Amino acid sequence: MRRKCAIVAGGAGFVGSHLCRRLLDEGYEVDCIDSLLTGRRDNIDSLDTRGPFRFHHEDVARPIRFDHNADAVFHLASPASPADYLRHPLETLTAGSAGTANTLELAREKGARYILASTSEVYGNPQVHPQPETYWGNVNPVGPRSAYDEAKRFAEALVTAHRATHGTSTAIARVFNTYGPRMRRTDGRAVPAFITQALDGRPLTVTGTGSQTRSLRYVDDLVEGLLALHTSTVPGPLNLGNPEEITVLELARQILRATGSGSPTVFVNRPQDDPDRRCPDITRAREELGWAPKTGLREGLDRTIAWYRAHRRTFSHDAPAWT
């Protein structure tokens, strides 16, 4: 029997590399496409020992051609942290527009199931809490986060139109805050910033008063959700996140306890349009996929901290912290 094949755009990134690993463990051949704008080769260097794995150093903003069959196309290619998409706004918008169009066309050509990794950022700074998929959001279309927010909103519209026009089997996953091993130290989001600051004995930089909340979900749980969506016929959009909130200040305190660090906490200005609260309603994911996160915050933080301790020598200095 032919081995199933999955194409992962953005497969050298944080989430993408975990997805590639899991697909190989499930017996898939995996083609990883990544421009390496924010992805890293060392995230995927050992994957060819786990199964048939091919890396393609390409930009999905350009047309993609594969001679072999494919059963799944996962589109995760995009800068995903505020620090990254503020540095690369045009590339972010192109990944959501041309990148989505090209990966959709590839899925249509191959008759493959298509999964878009969208984002909770489509809800902006939400005025409805928790956020269900029916909420249209509160997004500033010309603010500093707009390149990412609007790229993903456009990508969702394009996926919806492609499905209606061509009958492509598509699904939209709205991904909430995710953390775990292989997040870049310079990623800029709260978990890697706090962990590396704590391990280095530097002050933890909490933005604003730290009362803003996030809903953190360990990366392995997200991968399970993406695979469950792939093997279903559900079109989405579906929220994939953790319905348990934590304030940014409490997150900093938990990381200090987990690392045993004596670093102080300092407060810095919050970025413009930083969401006050972010928490998913995952009723649809529970009902339609039977999915919910399983990894508790303490367990996930312990795993992540252990990885950062093991890889400290490979790190460079941090970029400014964002949350």
Q: Is residue 316's pLDDT more than 60?
A: no
Domains annotated for the chain, with CATH where assigned, are 5-178+218-240 (3.40.50.720), 183-214+244-275+295-314 (3.90.25.10)
CA 298 → CA 18, 151, 180, 220, distances in Å? 20, 33, 12, 14
pLDDT at 319 over 70: no
**Residue 1: its pLDDT value, please?**
66
Least confident of 112-116, 130-134, 185-189, 207-211: 185-189
Q: Give the separation between CA 140 and CA 151, rounded to whole angstroms.
A: 13
Q: How confident is the model at residue 103 (pLDDT cuts 50, 70, 90)?
A: very high
Instruction: For residue range 218-275, list pLDDT tens digits in order.
Output: 999 999 999 999 999 999 999 999 999 999 999 999 999 999 999 999 999 988 888 8
Amino acid at 286: R
Residue 283 backbone phi and psi in degrees, to 5: -55, -45
Q: What's the average model confidence in pLDDT over 43-65?
A: 94
- Checking phi first, is residue 204 left (phi over 0); if not, alpha (psi -120 to 50) or beta? beta
Q: Which residues are catalytic?
A: 148
320 pLDDT higher than 60: no
Question: Could you tell me which residues come within 8 angstroms of residue 111 by beta carbon, excluding any fewer than 6 positions away?
Answer: none
User: Residue 82 pLDDT > 90, yes or no?
Assistant: no
**Average pLDDT for the chain:** 93
| Percent of the chain topping pLDDT 70 | 96
